[in-house]
Structure 1
Amino acid sequence: MNQPLLDIQDVTVEYPGRGGLRAKPFRALHSVSLDVQRGECVGLVGESGSGKTTLGRSVLGLAPVTTGKVLFRGQDIAHADRGRRRELAADIQVVFQDPYTSLNPALTIEQILAEPLTVRKVPRAEAQKRIRDLFEMVRLPADSGTRLPREFSGGQRQRVAIARALALKPALIVCDEPVSALDLSTQARVLELFKDIQEQTQVAYLFVSHDLEVVRHISHRVAVMYRGEIVEFGDGDQVTGRPNHPYTQKLFFAAPIADPDAQAQRRKERRQLLAAQNA
């Protein structure tokens, strides 16, 4: 296998404990290792407090890495300074959970998409063509540029956020619960959009979610986090369909299913698994 695009090696993240100098530090991540190949989607799933968002933030330089390495294209960026982080912004982007709070409400959509291109001093004609291409890529009307974020639905705003993340043609996008604020039908459409964009551009995703069903639909490989550690990591179909770790099994059986027959089958599988474990 080729050198990973992103290679997280034994990363530990600790925060100062509460209660003074003698307070025990809080360890959010415990020696976590994970890699993402070029053009791959790795799903990172776990309940609230599992450490999955902290891991994504450590890649973005938003969570301080206590020990370990975060290698991007073979170079350790765990402790990159501001200048290096500005350089990395062209290659590593992020899509947050709530697009409205991440979009400047005073700017038009065209101005929002033009901002990173302007910072990188992309010639005006090239930038305008890039913006038109981005509208097409995320399936927004060509006349969207003159409108403000508040004039769009939640799903449309997330498409704008995805377009902004794609503006500089990054190699990696950290997706931090990007569909959890959307209704189920809109979730499905946005997930399909993520998949189509990856096929077109070969961008890699570190896709953070609390929902095993969401990561199942989009991920090539899936890592399951529990109490700051990765407890299961492997092929997406294997991890989400035939999980080995008890915590992953808990997530699997807790995931909602619309089909009543599938629900009944899953309850049967759970009873069989519990019987086998207790035998």
Structure 2
Amino acid sequence: MNPQLLVDCIDVNTHFGALHVLKNVSLTIRPGETVGLVGESGSGKTTLGRAILGIGPVSSGRILFNGTDIAGCPPGARAGEAAAIQAVFQDPYSSLNPSMTIEDILIEPVIARGLASRVDATAQVRKLLKQVALPTDAAQRYPREFSGGQRQRVAIARALALSPRLIVCDEPVSALDLSTQARVLDLFIEIQERTGVAYLFVSHDLSVVRHISHRVAVMRSGEIVEFGECDQVTARPAHDYTRRLLLAAPVADPIRQAERRAAFQALEKGN
């Protein structure tokens, strides 16, 4: 494996019965970078994220994490890699136990893996809350007492509790309003600059991916159809599917929006 790569997915295939969901997918993630994975619903992007996390099947191919093949291995069989790969999901409310305080939510993964005593883990809560810009008194409150954006900050803090090298972010801002989206995206960027964590950032929204990514992979029907530097893919795409995704994204200017709609329709007619 290239020592400059943290993750190297090589010809990954996933079948659900007769349905071929991932088709020879190859994708790399470097230490400390964000790779945006964008595509329409049903394109296979969440399936790939779950395969990297070890909570989704791999029929064939390899997923190298720091040189170790983890394809098809559940988190419990991954030794140190399990803690090194964490996740932030789309709906923070459903991913947080409503009966637990924020403090208990944050220290649970640390204690469960025997990485610290409860006293030592509790002492880290203040640091985690500070990392995600939440007040220290949040520790004794419950998820229902927070807004959607604040709950997502809690979910990010929980992912950071184990000092991961990679976080798989599966549509982490799609349930938030636009202003909250921007603040949470900026938080992801600040955390990355401070900790060096890498992200696989899964989204259907190319404008969101463009805001946060260093490189972008475009997935369609289980295949990566375009993969390259963010500026290249989002400004000068090589594939018609990527062009359609760009033109389908709404803009505030009604004149530009009309022009984009006309260009999108022309591209559709040409295929």
Q: TM-score, normalised by structure 2?
A: 0.93
CA-CA distance at 1:267 after TM superposition: 5.5
In the other structure, the counterpart of 1:70 is: 63
In the other structure, the counterpart of 2:152 is: 158
Q: Which amino acid aligns with 1:215?
A: V
CA distance in 2, matches of 1:78, 1:155: 33
CA distance in 1, matches of 2:138, 2:76: 33
Q: Which amino acid aligns with 1:10?
A: D
Q: Which amino acid aligns with 2:221?
A: R
Q: TM-score, normalised by structure 1?
A: 0.90
In the other structure, the counterpart of 1:207 is: 201
The answer to whether residue 37 in structure 2 is matched with residue 44 in structure 1 is yes
In the other structure, the counterpart of 2:97 is: 104
The answer to whether residue 249 in structure 2 is matched with residue 255 in structure 1 is yes
The answer to whether residue 212 in structure 2 is matched with residue 218 in structure 1 is yes
CA-CA distance at 1:64 after TM superposition: 1.0
Segments of structure 2 that go 5 or more residues without pairing to the other structure are none
CA-CA distance at 1:80 after TM superposition: 1.9
Q: Which amino acid aligns with 1:88?
A: E
CA distance in 2, matches of 1:194, 1:251: 24
CA distance in 2, matches of 1:180, 1:33: 25
Q: Which amino acid aligns with 2:19?
A: F
In the other structure, the counterpart of 1:10 is: 11
Q: Is the CA contact 2:54–2:75 (under 8 Å) kept in the aligned structure 1?
A: no
In the other structure, the counterpart of 1:21 is: none
Q: Is the CA contact 2:76–2:82 (under 8 Å) kept in the aligned structure 1?
A: no
CA distance in 2, matches of 1:164, 1:172: 13
Q: SS in structure 1 opposite 2:27? A: strand
CA-CA distance at 1:60 after TM superposition: 1.0
CA distance in 2, matches of 1:81, 1:193: 29
CA-CA distance at 1:244 after TM superposition: 1.3
Q: Is the CA contact 2:55–2:74 (under 8 Å) kept in the aligned structure 1?
A: no
Q: Which amino acid aligns with 2:165?
A: A
CA-CA distance at 1:257 after TM superposition: 1.4
Q: SS in structure 2 opposite 1:80? A: coil
- Deviation digits for residues 179-222 of structure 1 (CA, Å, limit 9, x no counterpart): 00001111010000001100000100000000000000000000
Give the 5 Å matches for 1:1-279: 2-16=3-17, 25-81=18-74, 83-85=76-78, 87-121=80-114, 122-260=116-254, 262-263=256-257, 266=260, 270=263, 274=267
Q: Which amino acid aligns with 1:53?
A: T
CA-CA distance at 1:120 after TM superposition: 2.8
Q: In the comparison of the two structures, how many residue pairs are matched?
A: 268
CA-CA distance at 1:261 after TM superposition: 5.6
CA-CA distance at 1:62 after TM superposition: 1.7
Q: Is the CA contact 2:24–2:223 (under 8 Å) kept in the aligned structure 1?
A: yes
- Deviation digits for residues 119-140 of structure 1 (CA, Å, limit 9, x no counterpart): 2331344323321111111001
CA-CA distance at 1:262 after TM superposition: 4.6
RMSD: 2.1
Segments of structure 1 that go 5 or more residues without pairing to the other structure are 17-24
Q: Which amino acid aligns with 1:83?
A: G
Q: SS in structure 2 opposite 1:89? A: helix
